[in-house]
Amino acid sequence: MTSGRLRARAYAKVNLDLRVGPRSDDGYHRLSTVLQSVALHDTVTLRAGDGPCRVRCSATGVPSDRGNLVWTAAAALWRAVGRRGDPQGAVVTITKRIPAEAGLGGGTADAVAALPGLCRIWDVSLAPQGLREVAAEVGSDGPFFLVGGTALGLGRGDAVYPLAELSPHWVLIVVPPRGVPTARAYGWLDRDRGRRGRRGRPARHVPPYAGPTLDLAALTNDLEGPVTRRRRELREATRTLRGAGAVVAAMTGSGSAVFGLFTSRARAADAARGAKRPGWRVIVTRTMSREGLARRFWA
Ligand code: C5P
């Protein structure tokens, strides 16, 4: 067991590209997605403590203890190292900055960022494959948060392959007051495809690359249509970002946040001023490379 506090940064992600295939027997859709880490992050602080694991977060709407994905991760790790019952002996505190139900992966990022600290506190270790399995139990994006940078996610999004890094960009994230639960966005997609008699095209297993670099003009998100049909204000937000000079403007994941990539901080800041609406959050951040992420623990 370790004494003192351990701290890790949990970086958010955006989906640069998301192609959704049909729903499989396991209830999950097969996908092909290109994920990108961004500098926006939560902070996860861990310390040893007596009794059952505790997970605390003061942000409104974020569950504590077993309702939080950090607890799910702790329970999965506890089982994976051969222990029984509920996880014990750790207190985890989350300082939240990443908006929830926004398609930014915040809850999963926190959970995966807590894993190395839990290993230290419990004095256990897991082989990389075991760690990937624990991360995948937290959520489909879990294994991505072990890798970071620019990466391809296949299967249900959990089979992750690092890609050549996207060149550095400024990222403007625009978050409407209402979130979208992931399962609901996929449900809308199925319903819309059913109406049109389409089962969904098989997810493309080749990311949209032009030579060694991502083809930014070819990026798409299959969930964007189904979500923006029900949340018209998101379509308006992407249009605003495009009009303000974003090289790419799209919804991230299952929404409800939309993002724009910009080549300069000044342009992103200008676009942020134009995108602000009452009750909406606008966040200017940067893309994060895998090299930058290597310093994420014990920051
Ligand atoms: O695993 P995760 O927490 O990301 O998934 C949340 C929900 O999103 C799932 O319960 C499922 O309804 C939907 N989902 C899906 N196909 C995926 C990923 C998620 O249908 N590949």
- 3-state SS of the chain is CCCCEEEEEEEEEEEEEEEEEEECCCCCEEEEEEEEEEEEEEEEEEEEEEEECEEEECCCCCCCHHHCHHHHHHHHHHHHCCCCCCCEEEEEEEECCCCCCCCCCHHHHHHHHHHHHHHHHHCCCCCHHHHHHHHHHHCCCHHHHHHCCEEEEECCCCEEEECCCCCCCEEEEEECCCCCCHHHHHHHHHHHHHHCCCCCCCCCCCCCEECCEECHHHCCECCHHHHHHHCHHHHHHHHHHHHCCCCEEEECCCCCCEEEEECCHHHHHHHHHHHCCCCCEEEEEEECCHHHHCCCECC
Which residues lie below 8 Å from residue 144, measured CB to CB, with a gap of 6+?
13, 35, 105, 151, 153, 157, 158, 160
Mutate which of 24, 145, 156, 222 for ligand 1 pocket (most atoms within 8 A of beta carbon): 156
Mean pLDDT of the chain: 94
Mean pLDDT by 10 residues, the chain (299 residues): 84 97 93 97 97 95 95 98 98 97 97 97 97 98 97 96 95 96 96 77 68 89 97 96 97 97 97 95 97 78
pLDDT for the residue numbered 295: 77
Q: Is 33 in the pocket of ligand 1 (CB under 6 A)?
A: no
Q: Rounded distance, CA 119 to CA 103, Å?
A: 28
Q: Is 28 in the pocket of ligand 1 (CB under 6 A)?
A: yes
pLDDT for the residue numbered 296: 75
Report the interhelical angle of 128-138 vs 106-122 (nearest 10°): 140
pLDDT tens-digit series, residues 67-82? 999 999 999 999 999 9
Mutate which of 29, 70, 158 for ligand 1 pocket (most atoms within 8 A of beta carbon): 29
pLDDT for the residue numbered 213: 86
What residue owns the CA closest to ligand 1's atom 9? 183
Specify the fold of 170-290.
Alpha-Beta Plaits (3.30.70)
Q: How far is the CA of 172 from the centre of ligand 1 (A)?
A: 25
Does the N-terminal peptide bond of residue 256 adopt cis geometry, omega within 30 degrees of 0?
Answer: yes
CATH of segment(s) 5-163? 3.30.230.10
> Do residues 107 and 179 touch, judged by C-beta distance below 8 A?
no
What residue owns the CA closest to ligand 1's atom 12? 183
Is 141 an active-site residue? yes
Q: Is 186 in the pocket of ligand 1 (CB under 6 A)?
A: yes
Q: Rounded distance, CA 9 to CA 60, Å?
A: 20
The domain segmentation of the chain, as residue ranges, is 5-163, 170-290
Using the atom order of ligand 1, give the atom closest to the CA of residue 29. Answer: 16
What residue owns the CA closest to ligand 1's atom 2? 139
Using the atom order of ligand 1, give the atom closest to the CA of residue 31. Answer: 21
For the entire predicted model, the pTM comes to: 0.95
Is 190 an active-site residue? no
Q: Is 182 in the pocket of ligand 1 (CB under 6 A)?
A: yes
pLDDT for the residue numbered 142: 98
pLDDT for the residue numbered 198: 63
Q: Output 261-270 pairs: Cβ under 8 A, ≥24 positions apart.
A: 261/169, 261/170, 261/171, 261/216, 261/287, 262/169, 262/170, 262/171, 262/172, 263/169, 263/170, 264/170, 265/170, 267/170, 268/170, 268/171, 268/172, 270/244, 270/245
Among 13, 17, 96, 158, the active-site one is: 13
Using the atom order of ligand 1, give the atom closest to the CA of residue 157. Answer: 21
Among 17, 141, 158, 222, the active-site one is: 141
pLDDT tens-digit series, residues 260-269? 999 999 999 9
Pairing of strands 170-175, 258-262: antiparallel
